[in-house]
Chain A
Amino acid sequence: MSAAAAGAPGHIEGGRKRTRELAGQAIIDSFKKFSPRVQVRNPVMFIVWLSMFVTLALTFDPDLFGKTQVTAAYNGFVTAILFFTVWFANFAEAFAEGRGKAQADALRQTKTDATARRIADDGTLQVVAAGMLRKGDRVRVERGEIIPTDGEILEGIASVDESAITGESAPVLKEPGTDMMSTVTGGTRILSDWLVFKVSADPGHTFLDRMIQLVEGARRQKTPNEIALTVLLAVLSLIFVIVVATLKPLASFLHIHIDVATLIALLVALMPTTIGALLSAIGIAGIDRATRFNVLAMSGRAVEAAGDVQTLILDKTGTITMGNRQATEFVPLPGYSEDDVAAAAMAASWYDSTPEGRSIVALAVARGAKRDPIWEQAQGVEFTAETRMSGTNLPDGREARKGAVAAVARYVQEGFKTTAPRELKEAADRVAKKGATPLALAMDGALIGVIGLSDVLKPGMRERFAHMRSLGIKTIMVTGDNPITARVIAEQAGVDDFVAEAKPEDKIRVIRLEQGQGRLVAMTGDGTNDAPALAQADVGLAMHSGTVAAKEAANMIDLDSDPTKLIDVVAIGKQLLITRGALTTFSIANDVAKYFAMLPAMFMLALPGVSALNIMHLATPESAVLSALIFNAAIIPILIPLALRGVRFQPTTANHMLARNVLFYGFGGLIVPFIGIKAIDLVLSPFLR
């Protein structure tokens, strides 16, 4: 887990003390879950719950269904084990929910009932309760105040402490107009200056509200896969109900009497109670793992879908590379010196406040370029995605421009009828081949030189992409860079494919192309123009720093705004599904041993030959039945930690993963109950004599 993730929403600190507190709360909640309204949602446990009342009645009157020789104590013992079976299942779910509840409580504390200053149409400030704010209202906040609700910044510049939401303690600079960092979230605290923002969410629908609902699991619905598994488990249980119900007449035909409590014990032991008890906890814990990783999934379905992803579409800048491109070289074209390039580059970048622009100025200064006072009266030309250039209009009418090589070449061709020399392409290619991004530099239509911007690959990306490849996941890098730079970076990072000179709409085109080939696609995004692509992707991970539109289109939000996390989200999704499958396999495989424990026990008095099937040599029929039932109950709490933590996940091929899990949970599920039941029988049988 990353350092940032350790300070999860609401700053939940781990540790034993915390776990003990959670367990205490879960014990209380697990008793509340005995309510039939809760039980009926889980068909497997509901049958156990019903059975418990039947054996309870038999405890008071063992002859309820006809004369028997069994004692009230035996029936009582069965009832007690059934009670614990249900209680363990309740506890697993309550414990899994507990963590979310604690987080939600912490988040609720940050929700203020404080007042807000709403700006009326006439410009005056009205003090209203935060709950009165509606979408479209304008609000002013000042230093030290808690931001009352979500919004988009209209005016002002301020640093904001968002640790209540993200757990990240370093303040964030917020200002209007940029895609990044121009939104505020209710519950965060403004540390300096002031902001005016437009409210973007009605009460009850703010980001904080949604977060509380999600971590609390209040709207937690079963995912489609979970429903399918529930159906399968319910039908298996139903089959065993048929098996056990028809067993009584079959046995009666052979003049064998089987007690109802024993039949119920057989039924409960055969039903997939292990997975039935833990299924809900596995799902909650899966979403919880994402949340603790500071990724807010809008639904459990989104986490599952992440496990299915076959193509990751990643931005180069900021995801694969550090994202702070620095100017590293000036390459003059024939007829110009490096000093000319430095001077022109400085002129073109004077009003460019991006880190790249600053780095160009810094490099120019280092190369001895001097500031020209006339630039003060010049006018900055901002970068747009369409022109893919920025620059400065000097007061004397000259235009200094820098930008993508193709864009600048077209600009001089169209604006000044200057054909780009062959050397421009050569110089650009030389820069690109080093993995740097070439920017062409033009002064008043004359091409001066090429600026090389280098970006640093994030450490460990190559290994992560190799992992992805072993999982069968294709990675596609999307970049505005020219094809040569893109290829070099793609090769260095080890991605499978790249799209160079990409415009925003290219992302959605790539997604549709991949989906058309039957792939499930995940992508990250933060800008408003990413929103359609985020919605089109099967898994869209929006950055918390991004725009409201992006966050609404995505089905997950990364509170740390770290796009690399998409890779971790995939692992979390896979781990959730694997845990579900592994425990199902384990649960069903257990039946073999339970049959060999219980069937000989039930029949060996009437059919002495059948005792040959008692391969575990269990002491007495009673002890055999009770041992199997106790094992069935005890395995639930033993597996709770595994259900909550998830089974170990290593990136490898599907075949390896299957082999490993079949070995552990399939064969393990066959063997473990033989050992467990025998051990319980050894302990139990002396008491039953």
Chain B
Amino acid sequence: MSANAFWQIAIELLLAGAISVPFGRYLAHVFQEQKTLFDPVLNPVDRLIYRLIGRDAVKEGMDWKGYAVHMLLTNLLMGLLIYVILSFQAHLPWNPLKFPDVQPFLAFNTAASFVTNTNWQNYGGESTLSLFSQMAAITFPMFISAATGLVMAIAFFRALTPNRDKGPILGNFYHDFVRVLTRVFLLPCLFITPILVWQGSPETLTGMVTSHLIQGGVQHIPLGPVADLEVIKHLGTNGGGFFNANSAHPFENPTPLSNVIETLLMMVGPMALVVAFGRIVGNPKLARVIYTVMASMLVVAVFTAVIAEQRGTPLLAHAGLMQHASAGQMGGNMVGKEVRFGITQSALFDTVSTASATGAVNSMLDSYTPAGGMVSLVQMMLNCVFGGQGVGMLNFLMYGIFAVFIAGLMVGRTPEFLGKKIEKREIVLASLALLVHPLIILVPTAWSLMAPYGVSSLGNAGSHGLSEVLYAFTSAAANNGSAFAGLNGDTPWYNVALAVVILVGRYASIIFMLALGGSLAAKPRVLETVGTLKTDTALFGGFWFATIIVVGALTFFPGLVLGPIAEFYAHHASIGAIR
């Protein structure tokens, strides 16, 4: 790889790391009800909201069941709201381009997708949705879904706080929810949106401008409230674009600077949550171990992707095309990438995006080299390389439960994690959470590849076609929303199948994990001695990593072999054939 590329990556990752530490401390302050700088402004706002939703509602302490039920009800309401708005958008205001109502299958898919932080899009925003739908059914749920993920993780962390005296009580969902919205998501949006506007992102209620071109003819350029959506899209690890081209579109991501800002916004939330975890459970060293493992996986992923894309395609190289970067050209595999970002900023953006379960793209993954595309696929299969708001950390901790269980036995104790015994109930719940992911990826993928209505949507045959379907269901299951493209998802089968996978992938795993948290919260704390398994060591970090790879990744190894790995070797093998 070029030195230039290396420094771009290094600086951006280090910058994200540097921001994540104070941001993580801030998160911990917010959730531990400690003072923050913004309290004088935000406390009255919170109080107003509490008054609107009822002061008693935010006071009641909830155990995991209560917390889960209120989360589900809130999300259900949000999902219905999205569905209704989309289904009746023709009758609702701010529809300058007179778009018709969204069809039921697509509306269901979109509602499921946006209420779960997935943001898989089977539609093109600028040609399907009114401005009101974009604001009320897309941008608004982006806040709600990100806040939902984050408070679930926080509720889980509370089960592990030292010196608990609350028994099974994990907190109050509404109280946490409001604080997250005002303090973690709305506030940065207010500050960062103007920066994107300055860079050229539109923020307007004008639906379209029509320009008369010099060479004659007219061009219709759709506009709308884009800049604010961009901030929460990345900060909330949502990923759904205003335009079909997502962050490759010049209004969503106008300049290299906006690209860097969006890349950082995707990373800082999930990174900061690890820091917050350390402070909330009172073990910053453990947080450093987790952070290191996650960061190592991310660094390997980013470099693999960038190097794979810079190397370009062996077939073209064999045909005599010069693909090296030089003064006059970027070299490598530029298919589907924006010239204003180049290979490094494209591969970095897309890799970070799948790592953080954002799913936004500034370049088309379908056109990546097999290795470059596989990086994104593997990250979604693991679903814990920092991961989406809250849920990435929950997934990482799920693997931690298994690692603790096995390593704990190996030190001659019945296993414990942060002073809580890991027993049958915890293993059952963690196992169910683990089981969900391969189940809802592999079964629908196999089904789609067997059924004619599944195969007919494919853009390619062979291994690449297999990768397209596998990618779609992996993205849905991981609530990532990243699209490989090449697959036409707007069919009844894919709309419904993906929506069901999205819903199960979201709620089954977080509820299993919250139940696990509830179970841990109710347990007495066992004192730590030198005979206790230390989880905050490099050794255990390595074991944790190995557990993720062996338990998480090996499940998908056969699928990967038939998809991207077969394609990778096919590229090389076909050169042999040409020779």
Contact = CB atoms under 8 A, between A and B. Distances in A.
Interface stretch (A98-106, A113-121, A149-157, A228-236): A228-236
A670 to B, nearest CB: 9
A253 B449 CA distance: 6
A273 to B, nearest CB: 15
A666 B546 contact: yes
B501 to A, nearest CB: 14
A623 interface: no
B409 A658 contact: no
Contact of A227 (B402, B411, B424, B533): B424
A609 B462 CA distance: 14
A607 B569 contact: yes
B531 A603 contact: no
Q: Is the interface of B mostly helix, strand, loop or mixed?
A: helix
Interface in A471-516: 471-474
A538 B544 CA distance: 30
Given A307-B412, A588-B551, A252 B424 contact: no
B512 to A, nearest CB: 12
Nearest to B454: A253
A240 B438 CA distance: 9
Q: Is the interface of A mostly helix, strand, loop or mixed?
A: helix
A249 B446 contact: yes
A253 B439 contact: no
B527 interface: yes
A659 B422 CA distance: 21
Nearest to A579: B409
Nearest to A223: B414
B427 A228 contact: yes
B569 A654 contact: no
Interface in B429-453: 431-432, 434-435, 438-439, 442-443, 445-447, 449-450
A235 B543 CA distance: 20
A113 to B, nearest CB: 43
A44 to B, nearest CB: 14
Contacts of A609: 566, 568-570, 572-573
B17 interface: no
B462 A254 contact: yes
B405 interface: yes
A588 B407 CA distance: 13
B434 A235 contact: yes
Interface stretch (B322-330, B332-340, B513-521, B555-563): B555-563
Interface in A298-320: 304-305, 307-308, 310
Interface string A579-608: 011101100110110010001000100011
A416 B179 CA distance: 75
Nearest to B455: A253
A471 B530 contact: yes
B428 interface: yes
B174 to A, nearest CB: 33
B463 interface: yes
A471 to B, nearest CB: 5
Contacts of B434: 235, 239
Contact of A595 (B428, B554, B569): B554
A573 B427 CA distance: 21
A591 B554 contact: yes
A655 B424 contact: no
B532 interface: yes
Contacts of A308: 413-414
A612 interface: yes
A653 interface: yes
B550 A232 contact: no
Contacts of A519: 526-527
Nearest to A664: B410
A655 B407 CA distance: 10
B388 interface: no
A231 B539 contact: no
B251 interface: no
B532 A654 contact: yes
A661 interface: yes
A585 B412 CA distance: 14
Interface residues of B, number: 69
Given A249-B450, A254-B562, A666-B546, A242 B442 contact: yes
Given A243-B442, A658-B407, A573 B551 contact: no
A238 interface: yes
B529 interface: yes
B543 A250 contact: no
B462 A574 contact: no
Nearest to B432: A235
Nearest to B574: A609
B424 A228 contact: yes
B61 interface: no
Contact of B446 (A225, A250, A599): A250
A653 B530 contact: yes
A649 interface: yes
A3 B309 CA distance: 70
B435 A592 contact: no
A469 B529 CA distance: 9
Nearest to A571: B412
Interface in A169-218: none
Contacts of B442: 242-243, 246
A251 B562 contact: yes
A518 interface: yes
Interface in A240-280: 240, 242-254, 256
Given A242-B438, A249-B449, A472 B530 contact: yes
A520 B533 CA distance: 15
A662 interface: yes
Contacts of B406: 581, 584-585, 588
A471 B465 contact: no
Given A599-B561, A613-B561, A517 B527 contact: yes
A368 B406 CA distance: 68
A518 B427 contact: no
Contacts of B550: 588-589, 591-592
Nearest to A240: B555
A224 B423 contact: yes
A250 B530 CA distance: 49
Nearest to A584: B406
Q: A-B pairs with the 3 shortest C-beta distances?
A: A609-B569, A581-B409, A472-B531
Given A473-B529, A662-B543, 4 more contacts: A251-B562, A474-B529, A581-B408, A658-B543
28 contacts: A225-B414, A228-B423, A228-B426, A228-B427, A229-B409, A229-B427, A231-B427, A242-B443, A244-B558, A246-B559, A247-B559, A249-B450, A250-B559, A253-B449, A307-B413, A472-B531, A473-B529, A577-B414, A578-B412, A581-B410, A585-B406, A592-B550, A592-B554, A610-B566, A654-B530, A658-B540, A661-B410, A662-B542
Interface of B: 402, 405-414, 419, 422-424, 426-428, 431-432, 434-435, 438-439, 442-443, 445-447, 449-450, 455, 462-463, 465-466, 524-527, 529-534, 537, 539-540, 542-543, 546, 550-551, 554-559, 561-562, 565-566, 568-570, 572-573
